[in-house]
Amino acid sequence: EDQVTQSPEALRLQEGESSSLNCSYTVSGLRGLFWYRQDPGKGPEFLFTLYSAGEEKEKERLKATLTKKESFLHITAPKPEDSATYLCAVQAGQAGTALIFGKGTTLSVSS
Amino acid sequence: DSGVTQTPKHLITATGQRVTLRCSPRSGDLSVYWYQQSLDQGLQFLIQYYNGEERAKGNILERFSAQQFPDLHSELNLSSLELGDSALYFCASSPGPVPGNTIYFGEGSWLTVV
């Protein structure tokens, strides 16, 4: 069964304190790995898509990387406005065209 | 603003009732996806329609049904509602049959069953 596990469930950082969020996956035939940001009561906002091991993408203070078993979302020098829940999702062959989501990591950045 | 419009934003109804959630996809998008988000389960895929046809089915209960109309808007019908159906229901859309990197979510419809 295709599975996506995110860790930690919650992360509290001080402003400027860099860290990483983990997304590990077990899927048959990975077709893409997605990162989304979700603010409370809002819809997920697309951040990145990664397609193959070794691929990296960056956007402002965020950098996503992918290996054959997991993905990391690195947050460099975070600011309070980076506080949100970060969701990882995979598109896998067995699941057809659906995205399978992890439960997310809730990040809180304090000043 | 993702361009995906969902109505209503909030809905409170009683157990046993039936509700309809509506979604208008982004202009030009042919695929519509429905997801359910609850505190303990995270985002769960329910169903996908592409250009009016059902394309993929996830963990959608038999009490739930959906359809996509010729103008590409979609409706999710939830019947015989139970307390456990209380959740945030999201609609998402993409241009083609596969999400790729262009799947955008609406703001969601909060359903509370009392």
A109, pLDDT greater than 80: yes
**Whether B114 contacts chain A with CB within 8 A:** no
Q: Hey, what are A102's tokens?
A: 């992890």
pLDDT tens, position by position, A55-88: 999 999 999 999 999 999 999 999 999 999 999 9
Chain B nearest-CA distance from A33, in A, is 9
* Interchain pair B42, A91: CB under 8 A: no
Among the listed residues B90, B74, B110, the one whose alpha carbon sits nearest the alpha carbon of residue A89 = B90
pLDDT of residue A96: 59
Angle ∠(A49,A71,A64) on CA atoms, nearest 5:
55
Residues of A in contact with B104 (CB under 8 A): 46
For chain B, strand residue ranges (E) read 5-7, 10-13, 19-24, 31-38, 42-50, 53-57, 64-68, 74-78, 87-94, 104-105, 109-113
List of residues 6+ apart from B30 with CB closer than 8 A: B50, B51, B72, B94, B95, B96, B97
A93, pLDDT greater than 70: no
| Residues present in chain A in total | 111
* Interchain pair B103, A102: CB under 8 A: no
- Residue A98 has its nearest CB partner, among B4, B45, B108, at B45
